[in-house]
Amino acid sequence: MINRKRDISAFIISMLTFILTACSSSPSNSEIEAAVKQSLEKRVPVSLAKHLTGGEDAIVEEVKVIKVGQAQGKGSHIYWPVIIYARGTCVKMFGGRQPFEGQAEYYIRKNAYGEWVAQQKGF
C-alpha cells in the first residue's frame, strides 16, 4: 500500500513538472512583441504595408498581441501562431516613408541560439 501511494505521488509530481515545463516554454506577450518588432524593423509584410512590395526600415510605434495559438510542430521545430496588431511607418518602394497599421499573423519560435524570433505567416 505504501509503495502504491509513493508511485502515485511520484506520478503526480512528474506530471506537474511536465505541465509546468511545457507551459513555461511558450513565449510571453512581451517576448512575442519584441520578436515581431524586430522582424518588422527589417521587413513589413504586404498585409500591413498595403503595398505590393511591402515595406522596410520600419519605425515601429506599437505592437500588441491579440491572440496566441497552441504550440505546433514537434521536437526542436515547435512554433506558436499569433495574431498581432502593429502600427508605425516604413519605407515603401517608389513611395517614401508611409504609415502602416493593422493585424498580421506570425509564427513565433526559438532560433538555434535560444532567442525568440518572429516570421510572418506566408513568407
Span 23-65, pLDDT tens digits: 448 999 999 999 999 999 999 988 888 877 788 889 999 999 9
Report how many domains make up the chain: 1
Closest CA to 49 of 110, 1, 94: 94
Task: Name the CA dihedral angle for 3, 7, 13, 18, rounded to a multiple of 10 degrees.
Answer: 160
Q: Is residue 5 part of a domain?
A: no
Structural domain of 101: 28-120
Q: Is residue 14 part of a domain?
A: no
Q: Under DSSP, is residue 97 helix (H, G, I), strand (E, B) or coil?
A: strand
- In angstroms, the CA 50 to CA 41 distance is 16
Q: Is residue 7 part of a domain?
A: no
Could you say which DSSP state residue 27 is in? P
Q: Are 47 and 67 contacting, i.e. CB atoms less than 8 angstroms apart?
A: no
110 or 46, greater pLDDT: 110
Position 9 scores a pLDDT of 65
| Burial profile 47-60: b = 16 or more Cβ within 10 angstroms, e = fewer | ebbebeebbeebeb
- Counting every residue, how long is the chain? 123
First to last CA, the chain: 58
Q: Is residue 21 part of a domain?
A: no
Q: Is residue 68 part of a domain?
A: yes
Band of pLDDT at residue 72, cut at 50, 70 and 90:
very high
Q: Is residue 115 part of a domain?
A: yes
pTM of the model: 0.76
Q: Sheet of 55-68: strands edge to edge?
A: 43-44, 55-68, 80-92, 96-110, 116-120
